Amino acid sequence: MNVLSVIMGRRSIRNFEEKPVPREAMDRLIDALLWAPSAGNLQSRKFYFVTDAALRRKLAMAAYGQAFIARAPLVVVACADKEAVSGRYGRRGIDLYCVQDATLSAMCMMLEACELGLGSVYVGAFSEKEVGKALGLPEYIRPVALLPVGYPLIVPDAPARVRAEEAVVFK
């Protein structure tokens, strides 16, 4: 098991083959989502697996017309469950912890997708209101990320990274 190889090999994929993601692969993605760490182990997150083409188009429009979202065979909508965390953590749980729970899960899922030969990309630019409306979300479920998933048509080269000295401070 070489996690660092998967981390370094993962790319943001926006071009997908016209090929569905098999249910067995989706089950592995679900496992990765569920086994991610969460604040107080409250698991204050919910995920919507969207394969319906019309709904994917609505999500793409809610994401300010980012058409590649509609072309992905699967879009996972990572959401924060504000109700699940509010009792224990109050305002900080609602504003931060449940969002962290959803994003940690999203990253774990993206790494598993890479391991499976699937591509994905984290999309944060969208109207929460429009995504909520498209999915019929209750008020306490906040969409945090759209995660298009599919078999990569094009895998870009690795982008440049800052030097460790620019990002890490030892004290």
Residue spans of the domains in the chain: they are 12-152
Distances (CA, A) of 105 to 34, 67, 77, 145: 7, 24, 11, 11
Q: What pLDDT is attached to residue 159?
A: 93
Q: How high does pLDDT run on average in the chain? A: 97
Q: How many residues does the chain have?
A: 171
Q: What pLDDT is attached to residue 96?
A: 98
- Angle subtended by helix axes 98-115 and 82-92, to nearest 10: 130
Q: In the predicted model, what is the mean pLDDT of residues 1-11?
A: 91
Question: Mind listing the pLDDT tens digit for each residue in 55-79?
Answer: 999 999 999 999 999 999 999 999 9
Specify the CATH class of 12-152 in words.
Answer: alpha beta
Among 55, 79, 48, 82, smallest CA distance to 69 is for 55
> Model confidence at 1, in pLDDT bands (50, 70, 90)?
low
Question: Mind listing the pLDDT tens digit for each residue in 20-46?
Answer: 999 999 999 999 999 999 999 999 999
pTM of the entire structure? 0.96
Q: What pLDDT is attached to residue 136?
A: 98
Q: In the predicted model, what is the mean pLDDT of residues 95-108?
A: 98
122: Cβ contacts below 8 Å, ≥ 6 apart: 12, 106, 107, 110, 145, 147
